[in-house]
Amino acid sequence: MSASTARPRRVLFLGSAAQAKVLEEQFAFLLAHYEQALATHGSSCSNGKLGELCPSCLRFMELRDTLMEPFRVAPAEWKNRKAMAA
């Protein structure tokens, strides 16, 4: 093939997905897996060993707990807030 008949090279570039979008999709996948396990087993699915969670259920629970942390209030603190509001 001579230089005049060679095909020009095209450079393909796939931009990376936005990090928030990736995290959202991962969380949606884990949530769907956990919900399916609840519907099927009545609880999170097991890893084949009694009392052990599968990696997907374990990861979902870790993420859920991390995301809910800012909304947790210690019982003593809750009582103080209720007393101050009254």
Domain extents in the chain = 19-67
Q: pLDDT at position 28, please? A: 94
Position 1 scores a pLDDT of 53
* Digit-coded pLDDT (tens) for 20-74: 888 899 999 999 998 888 888 777 676 656 567 788 888 988 998 888 888 877 7
3-state secondary structure of 46: strand
pTM for this predicted structure: 0.56
Among residues 20, 49, 54, which one has the least CA distance to residue 34?
54
